[in-house]
Structure 1
Amino acid sequence: MTKTLTADNPNLQAAAGRLRRIQWTWAALFLAMAVLTFAGGSGDGPLPGRAVLAAAWLAGAGLLAAAPQPALLALVTVAWALSLVFLLPGGAGALGSDPLGVILGGSPVEAWAAALVRVILALTAWNQFLFYRMLYGTAAATGLEASLPAIPEVVPNRTDALASWGRFCGLAGLLAAWAAIPLGDHPLASPALNLGWALAVFGIGLGVGAAFSPTTRRGAALTGIGAGAMAFLSALLVARVMPG
């Protein structure tokens, strides 16, 4: 018979504590990215656009600091992975230059270093997500060895809400990216494009976190991933054709 652990198991409580500290660490890094993004120079894109991106990093920091949720580690993964777009010529031209470039510099070698840092951070967050999602409980998990003990829900499972928000962000991001097209060289074009990219990150990140966790809203999560991916690609394409 499979052994069932209790929620007050010392090892599970220790894991929940580590998850909390991990999320606080990521929140601090997101906060630093918000500051670096907003403090960029005049050559780093228009101020309204930078403010939108800074607000997105700040919102991510707030989510991570608010409550322990393993699914948010998937958002961290996606945020670092998709921020590689800042290293692309088209992305840098419309979204602003790489905030990490403020620290590492702008030479080709330093650009590769910034990319490597992002890849390492993304892989770290993904591995953390795959491990700590067990704190949602394993009752609905499949493919586990029968000899492994069943794990109860240790942290509140908010993945249904995250899936719904992921769908909303993905669809809203798609609309924002498309809205930048008719705006052309209007001052609002840059904020709209940055908003589309930021919402795409949240749509994909929250969608992935919910889809790969126990949830009853997997359809909404997958919609968020799909719409977010379309918003991300749309933002890249619009960035390449925007005037200036």
Structure 2
Amino acid sequence: LPDIPGCVLMQSKDQITAGNAARKDRMEGKAAISNTTTSCVFQLLQEAGLYCRDFSECLCRTISTSIQVVLKALAEIEVFCKQIAEEEYVIGSFGITSSCWLPCGHQGRVVVLMGSTSDLGHCEKIKKACATFGIPCELRVTSAHKGPDETLRIKAEYEGDGIPTVFVAVAGRSNGLGPVMSGNTAYPVVNCPPLSSDWGAQDVWSSLRLPSGLGCPTTLSPEGAAQFAAQIFGLNNHLVWAKLRSNMLNTWISLKQADKKLRECTL
């Protein structure tokens, strides 16, 4: 587009081809369906954080025959990217076997419990990291030492609405939040204590040495706590899973680029 540098107009048509255009036919309404499908595919890639500028053409077609498409709503789909110049194909073929991937309202949330508002800065980092995975995050203030009844009431509040939840316990000094929550809920609990430079080496043991029967792991990184929750939700949420996989790919690419740059400087 001359008026918009860096942008290209992609226009779909009603013509459908097979065998790299060896066979072709006209299907009324195909252009509108293709536009919607292509837009959704690129929107999904963008939301996942995947760099996709180098794709020359994106095609989506049904493998089944036209009769099967009419009779079977969940047809098998093949999505691939084609590099026109090289005639090379990167193909991924999959079938829809269940409706578990369909949007069904709330997909999960993270609830950060802090012992006091002095830990708010640490908790805000967890919330910000959760946002990168598209996971809602709520911040609450409660103390398992000073108000155990209120801590358990908050726990019951989130257990009762049916939304999958991961609790993150943020408590300095003696961590009572994580162990108390872990001992009273079947939901995942992770400790993320805000350690200080003065007593951090001693305080961390309250998050590491736990009574038997408790299973709340500990991570010192706010980003690590958010990723822990994302990996749990990614088992059933394809969008969170896609963001995790995209992060892994981008990390791999950045390492390769750094290695290449270093080798060029050395040589």
TM-score by length of 2: 0.26
Q: Which has the higher contact order (CA 8 A, sep 6+)?
A: 1
Q: Which has the higher helix share?
A: 1
TM-score by length of 1: 0.28
Radius of gyration: which is bigger? 2
Q: Which has the higher strand share?
A: 2
